[in-house]
């Protein structure tokens, strides 16, 4: 039931159920929320509170134990993300006016509101991820172009002809752009036109600076 978005693969959002004592979990079952990593002392306290203690693996006597906290132990829902981000909380019992959701699973209206917060959290990353991908593609094309030019130069093709092929540049323009390229053409061609990561040529008119 996690929220995902293309372009933000490191981010999966979900609703965290927050208990009165501050513990939180995104796992739930029919009767309430599942706390799956509690230490033995805490499990004993929860047992004394009357909460159900359930073996994770019923067939195994040494199974790890899950605590099932009833829905009325949940005081708030909060949006969260795998990256560690947390959004706002919505209380199950509103302080003043508003509908009470005490004692029930997270209603759709609350989940949608929390998902909106998470969407706002990933939106800038989706935008910058697209720029980063396009930048990588543009950079790779720059390098492949330089490799192709160098290959033709080695085959004896004139700067005039190369410039003509490159959108009608002058011979001088083509030479200025690619004449001092230090790219390792052979390696690029061996890699099927894909530029190995450790090749970092200094192109005279490179479109940017990736050191920042
Ligand atoms: Zn995130």
DSSP string covering the chain = --B--TT-TT--EEEEEEETTS-EES-EETTEEEE-S--HHHHHHHHHTT-EEEESSTT-TT--EEEEEEGGGEEEEEEEETTS-EEEEEESS-SSSS---TTSPPPHHHHHHHHHHHHHHHHHHHHHHHHHHHHHHHHHHHHHHHHHHHHHHHTT--HHHHHHHTTS--HHHHHHHHTT----HHHHHHTTTPPPTT-----TT-S--TT-
Residue 12: predicted pLDDT: 95
Ligand 1 centroid, distance to 32 Cα (angstroms): 26
Region of 206 on the Ramachandran plot (φ > 0 left; ψ -120 to 50 alpha; else beta): beta
Ligand 1 centroid, distance to 11 Cα (angstroms): 4
Distance, in Å, from the CA atom of 124 to the CA atom of 13, rounded to the nearest integer, reads 15
Residue 206: predicted pLDDT: 44
Ligand 1 centroid, distance to 2 Cα (angstroms): 12
Residue 100: predicted pLDDT: 83
Ligand 1 centroid, distance to 134 Cα (angstroms): 22
Residue 33: predicted pLDDT: 95
Residue 166: predicted pLDDT: 94
Ligand 1 centroid, distance to 50 Cα (angstroms): 35
C-beta of residue 78 within 8 angstroms of C-beta of residue 87? yes
Ligand 1 centroid, distance to 105 Cα (angstroms): 24
Residue 24: predicted pLDDT: 94
Residue 168: predicted pLDDT: 95
Residue 97: predicted pLDDT: 75
Ligand 1 centroid, distance to 180 Cα (angstroms): 43
Low-confidence stretches of the chain (pLDDT < 50) are: 202-212
Chain centroid offset of residue 104 CA: 31
The CA-atom distances, in angstroms, between 204 and each of 72, 155, 162, 178 are 67, 22, 17, 7
Ligand 1 centroid, distance to 149 Cα (angstroms): 43
Ligand 1 centroid, distance to 136 Cα (angstroms): 23
C-beta of residue 20 within 8 angstroms of C-beta of residue 33? no
Is the C-alpha dihedral spanning 50, 52, 53, 58 positive or negative?
Answer: positive
- Give the residue from 23, 105, 39 showing the smallest Cα distance to 72: 105
Ligand 1 centroid, distance to 201 Cα (angstroms): 35
Ligand 1 centroid, distance to 86 Cα (angstroms): 8
Predicted model pTM: 0.62
């Amino acid at each position: 039931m996690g929220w995902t978005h293309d372009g933000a693969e490191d981010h999966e959002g979900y609703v965290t159920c927050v208990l009165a004592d501050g513990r939180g979990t995104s796992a739930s079952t029919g009767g309430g929320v599942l706390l799956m990593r509690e230490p033995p002392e805490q499990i004993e306290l929860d047992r004394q509170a009357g909460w159900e203690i359930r073996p994770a693996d019923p067939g195994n006597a040494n199974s790890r134990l899950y605590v099932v906290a009833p829905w009325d132990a949940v005081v708030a829902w909060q949006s969260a993300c795998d990256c560690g981000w947390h959004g706002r909380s919505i209380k199950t019992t509103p302080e003043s006016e508003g509908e009470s959701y005490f004692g029930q699973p997270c209603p759709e209206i609350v989940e949608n509101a929390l998902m909106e917060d998470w969407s706002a959290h990933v939106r800038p990353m989706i935008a910058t991820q697209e720029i980063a991908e396009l930048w990588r593609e543009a950079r790779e094309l720059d390098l492949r172009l330089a490799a192709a030019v160098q290959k033709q130069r080695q085959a004896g093709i004139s700067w005039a002809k190369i410039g003509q092929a490159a959108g009608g540049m002058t011979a001088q323009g083509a030479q200025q752009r690619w004449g001092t390229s230090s790219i390792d053409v052979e390696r690029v061609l061996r890699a099927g036109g894909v530029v190995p990561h450790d090749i970092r040529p200094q192109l005279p008119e490179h479109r940017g600076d990736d050191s920042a």
